[in-house]
Amino acid sequence: VLILGIESSCDETAASVVKNGRTVLSNVISSQIELHKLYGGVVPEIASRKHIEKINQVITEALEEANVTLDDLDAIAVTYGPGLVGALLVGVAEAKAISYAKNLPLVGVHHIEGHISANYIEHPDLEPPFACLVVSGGHTHLVVVKDYGKYEILGRTRDDAAGEAFDKVARAIGLGYPGGPKIDKLAKEGNPLAISFPKAKVADAPYDFSFSGLKSAVLNYLNGCKMKNQPIVEADVAASFQKAVVDVLVEHSMWAIDEYGFDKFAIAGGVASNSALRMAMEEACRKKDIKFYHPSPIFCTDNAAMIGVAGYYEYLAGTRSGLDLNAVPNLKLGER
């Protein structure tokens, strides 16, 4: 089964051809990062326009790289939510046009289901059930993957997402956008024990997260230093902040593992490429004798291969979208 995956929910225009849900024949990504850098974050209107400019070219490249034509495909999978409405609409309209022109089944895919499914690409042995921590620019979810396409959310962030916290703290210490990879790099030169930042817990909800208090604590620390004319060691701030985030993510994940007894644990989303998070999770899972999975960095941040993979399992389950498929900016995981 050959699926063309299309992704345009934020600032990456991407297309990919995936064979039988596990083999990526091509994975083309056109990133708008350089464009949005100027503004310190993604500007929705600019993102939509750029998607329109790039999408045909990206799809053509994905088909060429995979050495297939539209006539070889079995279905089209496209992200229809969550994300920026104008950005999503570009991919959805394109997918509907191809589906109509070539009489191909259309499968709408949830972006976060895509992030989770990225783990299937490089791990042929990974099959549900397992638990997955989704840490991305807009989401922090602790999820039970009960079966392909069947999810139960154990916990979520009450305020900022993990990636959002990375981006905001990076901006505060002058690292620019996107901040996650820059903090990851700078933290390697800093002391994670230099500053003690709070690890927020949510009362009566052990699997929920809260990162806005941590972000404020970093901002207060930076302001305090300026007022007292104390030097700021950015690498120490980055390392200490990163440790506070990673500690909480690992701790809550391990509580879930203890309570529910999973034997497989995966991470997904842009922050899943964070080196400190990977090391800490690897170590924590090893201690509990649990198999730990994570995608390569290229499959952690937004891509269309993950949409092709998730689309394949939805396709097998009989999920079909009509030509009335619309973008749903706040689509919930597990809902259609």
Binding residues for substrate: 134-138, 167, 180, 184, 274
Q: Map residue 265 onto helix, strand or coil.
A: strand
Distance from C-alpha of 93 to C-alpha of 41, rounded to nearest angstrom: 25
Instruction: Tell me whether residue 110 is exposed, middle or buried, using C-beta atoms within 10 angstroms of its C-beta: 0 to 12, 13 to 18, 19 or more.
Output: buried
Q: Which of residues 7-36 bind Mg ion (CB under 5 A)?
A: 10-11
Among 81, 91, 155, 179, binds ligand ATP (CB under 6 A): 179
Does residue 302 belong to the site contacting Fe ion (CB under 5 A)? yes
Secondary structure class of 241 (helix, strand, coil): helix
Considering only residues 38-97, where is the footprint of ligand ATP by CB under 6 A?
83
Among the listed ranges 136-144, 196-204, 305-313, 322-330, the one in contact with ligand ATP (CB under 6 A) is 136-144
Token pair, residue 74, equals: 């079995």
- Provide the pairing of β-strand 140-147 with 130-135: antiparallel
The DSSP call for residue 24 is E
Element at 8 (helix H, strand E): none
Q: Is 181 in the site for ligand ATP (CB under 6 A)?
A: yes
Least distance to ligand ATP from the beta carbon of 102, Å?
Answer: 28
Q: Which residue, 169, 189, 187, 188, is CA-closest to 179?
A: 169
User: How many CA atoms are closer than 13 Å to the CA of 290, on its beta-carbon side?
Assistant: 24
Query: What is the total count of residues that contact Fe ion (CB under 5 A)?
Result: 2
Q: Is 302 in the site for ligand ATP (CB under 6 A)?
A: yes
Between 105 and 329, CB nearer to ligand ATP: 329
Tell me: does residue 136 bind Fe ion (CB under 5 A). yes
Among residues 96 and 294, whose Cβ is nearest to ligand ATP? 294
Q: Is-contact 26 65, C-beta < 8 A?
A: yes
Task: Pick the stretch among 13-21, 33-41, 231-239, 298-306 that binds Fe ion (CB under 5 A).
Answer: 298-306
Pairing of strands 140-147, 150-156: antiparallel
Residue 11 vs 208, nearer CB to Mg ion: 11
Residues near ligand ATP (CB under 6 A) are 10, 83, 111, 115, 136-139, 163, 166-167, 178-181, 184, 269-271, 273-274, 301-302
